[in-house]
Structure 1
Amino acid sequence: MSKKIRSIAIYLPQFYPIKINDECWGKGFTEWTNVTKAKPLFKDHYQPHLPADLGFYDLRVPEVRQEQVDLAKQYGIDGFCYYHYWFTGQRVLERPFEEVFKSGKPDFPFMLCWANENWAKVWDGGDQTVMCEQHYSREDHINHINYLKPIFKDERYIKIDGRPVFSIYRSQNIPDIEETIKLWRTELAKDGIDIYINRFESYSEGGENLVKDGFDAAVRFEPFSTRKPKFTKFWLKDTMKNKLNPWYIKYKLSSAEGRKKMFSLRRLDYGAYVDFIKTLPKENNYKLYPGVTPMWDNSARKQKDYFMFTNSTPEKFKEWVEHEIENFEPYSEEENFLFINAWNEWAEGNHMEPCQKWGHSYLKAFKDAVKK
């Protein structure tokens, strides 16, 4: 069996204005609005993350989408996984992908991930106002999968043995997920399509019911994989013992307030996380595709309750990618994915696209890791 790995970068389409965002946050809002207002919160905090090569682009421009693909190809990324938004037939942020699909350009492999959370005004750090709410029903599931049929037939669509690969961001939010997947498979079979369904896994969600629910595999969604809680406990214990935790100096550990502050800490060291991952045993009890993230800092998007990695570097990212590739045995010739979160999550400080600080360093680190 070949050890060929297909690297898939997750792609955010929120870089052009839409009516719902105008109404919620003001005329002309895009992801760049959050990016440019970010400020450092402490010494040596890398904010704001500002784009380099591609500038503050607008995804309605086809030349921008082609430049993104050219960069991805240059550095060994094999495809994009576009976030797909569907709310009882209402589509949001659909224009960039719709134009990619209908125009046939760029000529680059793609797949979709249904971002099925409620569309809420939560990114500003607390307002839970729901702008688009998910309502699940048999009728809507049929309408949804019928909308996707022509997309699945596109020659560029990423497939496994001819089966289009479709991911679900929060499968646990869908009532009767087992029946939903059966319904989808039945509807698609009418057009001769056999789908391959992944679910993104984060925090405590494990794979125990994966096969029973009808999924073919899962994707480890970093940095919020099931490994993060394990690392947090390990890291807190170690830093308390060695008095390295920033809260240690400000609060006495014996006080209730001190303990509360200790465990609400939202800054973790990237290098320590990578080192911890490298100590973990392999997980082989179900099909689970590896995931990596170059960095993470969503303080630009959230005024409070943010989470960030500190001390992220291209060198440490390269170590992580190398580790995942070395320890991943593809489940078959084409079940060989490595997911990168993300291509362009700029307001989460999480991007492979060049920024003014790092330039092409993360892209080069990824390419070197894959070549090795």
Structure 2
Amino acid sequence: MLRRLVAVAAAAVVAVTGLGVPENAKAAPAKVTDPVPMIELRTPAGGRFYTLSPREAAGAVSGHGFTREPGQAGYWRTAPFPGSQPVFRLRGGSGYLLTASVSERDALVKNGFTDEGTAGHLWSAAQPGMQRLLRFSKSGEWRVAVESRSAELTGQGYRVDGPLGWGHAEWIRAGAIYFGTFNPASTDVIAATKRVFKREGDFWGGVRDFSGRDPAVPQNTQGWTGDFSHLSPSIGFYDDSQPATLEKHISQATGAGLDFFQFYWYWDTGRKKQPERFEVSLNAFGAARNRLDIDYTLTVCAHPWGNLGIPKEDFTTVADEFIRHFRQPNFLRANDGRLLLTLCDRRGIGSGSDADTREFVSLVRERTKAALGEDVMVLGYWEAMLDPTAPERWGTEGAYCGVRIDHEKSYARYAATLPEYLAKGPAQFMRCAAQNFDERPRYPHLIADRSKIRFYPDQTPELFADVLSKLRKDIAGSKRISAVDNFVSIYAWNEWHEGGIIEPNARDGCRYLGIIHDSLGLRGGTGC
């Protein structure tokens, strides 16, 4: 079979302009250990081109007229690992060919093919939950697909050339927003609780009152009806400044297949550091014994009120604070190896102007490059989903899509319009799902005006599952070229005052984690 393939392939070789050795073959981002999507492109002449590098794929489209095919040709590793085998990419004729055979590679090179190096790495033997990646051919065109597509492709006239190795048909990386403020340093909540509810030192004020799960605190739902027992965490009303609390959260999250936490990150202009209530929670994560079981990133909330903005004179100090986190081995990276930083609000960065945002983002990148030799990917917030000019104006690569309570007042409509919303996003963005939004526990001590309380009146677990299923479908058929194309940000792990809660609770147990696990097809665990 090899001789026949070599003869056919050699006859098809013509003069074409190649793209050179793929970026990932030159310097594989070895710090990315999760499988990443194998991107499939069509060449102008009708051949197929495969790469794990979003940058190379984007260059092929913009500079050589290639087009992005929908979906992925499995999920591969960018660097060798125990039990792996390399797969090589060769250029010949109007297409590109992948092979795991050294002898086939060498024979094809002798017959006029160009060796473009290692395309990626697959498992050399069968593994649980994986499929074989096969190469198919038809009239000088070579394709790669998971084995479950064999009938489809042979029905189109392709023949099976043979296996390349074993890999995942899909690999979604899901994480959750983490709101670290349930601790004794939350003086604003403690003061408001004392003023309205007359209790001392209670940083769970409002949540505890609604829940009805604390025998020492009578239920007080301020006239709203319903079962609010979900407002009691399964592990009890905790202190998230304690590493033991974060250890429990990490175990719960990873048990459902979650990959990362997105810590809301604020700046206190008076302290010249994080507000203490957020600092102690993030420090507790850093002290958790199982912290390396999960990745984390920072989501910068530079609000234009109070002391929560980032003035220009603090830009360098803030950038250096980020670098301290970037040094951690479990800081979240995009599929191309870049450190991933997101913005939840940029209106308080400097004056809030586009120019100040660009200056801040540029400084973070420059100082990180100087200190670590690393590149940073910065994603803007929801506004960049609605305004395609925003990422360029801000100096960011794209967006993460955020919560939409101010745009969709009905959760059913939020679920129904999600595909349309996703289609409007920039080429590079991190998909997201809001489990719920309900700030009634903030009334009246934190929000005194009842008319300003926002919540979804029609959220259900079934609709949340529908949202996640739509995200999974959107990823599976994606035509984007993005280094975070398989990432999903979930709102939220523990926004107890604001209703986004996937953390196990007294009413639902692990139900929402189970929905995430099953709807997104996450690996490991059961959701509880």
Q: What range describes the TM-score normalised by the shorter chain of this pair?
A: 0.7 to 0.9
Residues 258-337 of structure 1 aligned to structure 2 (within 5 Å): 268-278=409-419, 282-283=423-424, 285-303=426-444, 304=450, 305-328=452-475, 329=478, 331-332=481-482, 334-337=484-487
SS in 2 for 1:274: helix
Encode CA deviations 1:292-342: one digit per residue, 9 max, x unaligned.
Answer: 111221011143211111232222111100101211336346543111010
Mapped contact 2:182–2:240 kept (Cα < 8 A): yes
- Partner of residue 165, structure 1: 340
SS in 2 for 1:324: helix
- Partner of residue 361, structure 1: 511
Per the TM alignment, residue 118 of structure 1 is displaced from its structure 2 partner at its CA by 5.1
Q: Does 2:117 correspond to 1:117?
A: no
SS in 1 for 2:380: strand
**Equivalent position amino acid for 1:101 in 2:** G
- From 378, 394, 406, the equivalent of 1:213 is 394
- Partner of residue 247, structure 1: none
Mapped contact 1:21–1:29 kept (Cα < 8 A): no
**Equivalent position amino acid for 1:185 in 2:** R
**Equivalent position amino acid for 1:34 in 2:** G
SS in 2 for 1:350: coil
CA-based RMSD of the aligned residues comes to 2.6
- From 53, 65, 81, the equivalent of 2:246 is 65
Residues 122-161 of structure 1 aligned to structure 2 (within 5 Å): 130=306, 132-137=307-312, 139-160=313-334, 161=336
Q: Does 2:207 correspond to 1:35?
A: yes
What CA distance in whole angstroms lies between the structure 2 residues aligned with 1:311 and 1:43? 14
What CA distance in whole angstroms lies between the structure 1 residues aligned with 2:248 and 2:274? 25
- From 156, 177, 182, the equivalent of 2:362 is 182
- Partner of residue 19, structure 2: none
Max Rg structure: 2
Between 194-203 and 42-51, the greater mean CA deviation after superposition = 42-51
SS in 2 for 1:282: helix
**Normalising to structure 1: TM-score of the pair?**
0.77
Encode CA deviations 1:177-198: one digit per residue, 9 max, x unaligned.
Answer: 1122222222222111311111
SS in 1 for 2:303: coil
**Normalising to structure 2: TM-score of the pair?**
0.56
**Total equivalences in the alignment:** 319
- Large movers: runs of 4+ above 6 Å: none
- 1:332 to 1:170, Cα distance in 2 relative to 1, 3 A: closer
- Partner of residue 261, structure 1: none
Per the TM alignment, residue 105 of structure 1 is displaced from its structure 2 partner at its CA by 4.0
- 1:34 to 1:183, Cα distance in 2 relative to 1, 3 A: same
Q: Percent identity?
A: 22
- Partner of residue 254, structure 1: none
SS in 1 for 2:291: coil
What CA distance in whole angstroms lies between the structure 2 residues aligned with 1:334 and 1:204? 15
What CA distance in whole angstroms lies between the structure 1 residues aligned with 2:248 and 2:510? 14
- Partner of residue 339, structure 1: 489
Between 63-72 and 201-210, the greater mean CA deviation after superposition = 201-210
Structure 2 gaps of 5+ residues are 1-37, 39-74, 76-169, 195-199, 211-219, 445-449, 523-528
What CA distance in whole angstroms lies between the structure 2 residues aligned with 1:19 and 1:203? 31
Task: Compare relative contact order (CA 8 Å, sep 6+) and give the higher one, 1 or 2.
Answer: 1
Mapped contact 2:381–2:402 kept (Cα < 8 A): yes
